[in-house]
């Protein structure tokens, strides 16, 4: 089941940095990079879902899963993992669109510093 209320609007850079073994000054750059790369991946993922290209779904959601996991965006990671497994099994009855929307929504709550980046994920 997708996590419809995942919210990363109050990221604590110190805690995030400690959990991934970096200095907090690097967190805004990592988050910005994650958002920028994910924008492109989400575009391809949306198209892959509409054409039911399970291999492309799997590959693209795998990339999101890995980056989200590295940054400890646990809800995004878990949803991406479920979608990846469904695509690997070519499950036609999986709710890809709902998961896609939930992942995109969660990403839209990610802030870096005081600026929310949700305007960058259209």
- Look at residue 112 in the predicted model and tell me its pLDDT: 60
Contacts of 66 (CB under 8 A, 6+ apart): none
Neighbour count for residue 104 (Cβ, 10 Å): 18
Q: What is the pLDDT of residue 116?
A: 41
H or E segment at 115? strand 115-116
Parse the chain into domains and list their residue ranges.
13-108
Q: CA 36 to CA 117: how far, in whole Å?
A: 10
pTM for the complete prediction?
Answer: 0.88
pLDDT score at 62: 98
Per-residue pLDDT of the chain (122 residues; tens, 9 = 90+): 888 889 999 989 999 999 999 999 999 999 999 999 999 999 999 999 999 999 999 999 999 999 999 999 999 999 999 999 999 999 999 999 999 999 999 999 997 653 444 434 44
* CATH of span 13-108: 1.20.120
Distances (CA, A) of 114 to 10, 36, 54, 55, 109: 9, 17, 37, 37, 12
- The predicted pLDDT at position 1 comes to 81
Report the C-alpha gap between 118 and 8 in whole angstroms: 11
Question: What are the φ/ψ torsions at residue 111 (nearest 5 degrees)?
Answer: -120, 155
Q: What pLDDT is stored for residue 20 in this prediction?
A: 93
């Amino acid at each position: 089941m997708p996590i419809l209320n995942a919210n990363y609007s109050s990221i604590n850079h110190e805690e995030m940095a400690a959990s991934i073994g970096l200095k907090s000054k690097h967190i805004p750059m990592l988050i910005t990079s994650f958002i920028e790369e994910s924008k492109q991946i989400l575009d391809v993922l949306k198209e892959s879902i509409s054409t039911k290209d399970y291999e492309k779904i799997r590959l693209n959601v795998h990339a999101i899963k890995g980056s989200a996991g590295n940054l400890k965006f646990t809800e995004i990671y878990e949803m991406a993992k479920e979608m990846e497994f469904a695509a690997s099994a070519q499950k036609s009855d999986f709710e890809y669109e709902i998961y896609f929307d939930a992942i995109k929504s969660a990403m839209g709550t990610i802030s870096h510093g005081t600026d929310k980046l949700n305007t960058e994920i259209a």
